[in-house]
Structure 1
Amino acid sequence: MLLTLEGVLTPDDVCEARRLLAGAAWEDGRSTAGAQAVTVKNNQQLAQDGEPARTLRALVLQGLERHATFFSAALPRNVFPPMF
């Protein structure tokens, strides 16, 4: 079952995320690919140890923590941080 969660991020959160993404340095996505995927992976992503990625991860995780539907539908034991 797939659910669409509305309102995970506030409008201010979205503005902050867009600002961070627009000013961030992007790198080749193959840097996080496994041995088989590295030959076909073709994307750009934020450096995972950079400040924009750390701030965005916290922003998204805080949004999920506030969202009751996420917890009641997913019943997560662990929530892994997103990659950008």
Structure 2
Amino acid sequence: MACDQVERQMCGIIGDRLGRPADDLEVRLHAAATASGVRVLDEHIGAALLPGADLTEFTDVAAVARRYAHVIRTATSGVVGDSVV
């Protein structure tokens, strides 16, 4: 359910970024790929939080944010780039 919600929200975000409707097929495909990439990275981080794991790779919040940005760029083949502030 959480992944489905992320995908739906990403449709709106990516649609806005690309100037296309949220229900556009390409937007939906990018949103699905992005949601899957975020899920995989979330699982990687979650597994690292298990007892006895080395957490040093997650102490730099900016570096973790860059990893998420990289996942999104990779999942969308670069169509969705860095965040817009």
Structure number with the higher helix fraction is 2
Q: Please tell me the TM-score bracket, short chain as reference.
A: 0.3 to 0.5
Superposition TM-score, scaled by structure 2 size: 0.33
Structure number with the higher strand fraction is 1
Higher relative contact order (CA 8 A, sep 6+): 1
Structure index of larger Rg = 1
Superposition TM-score, scaled by structure 1 size: 0.34
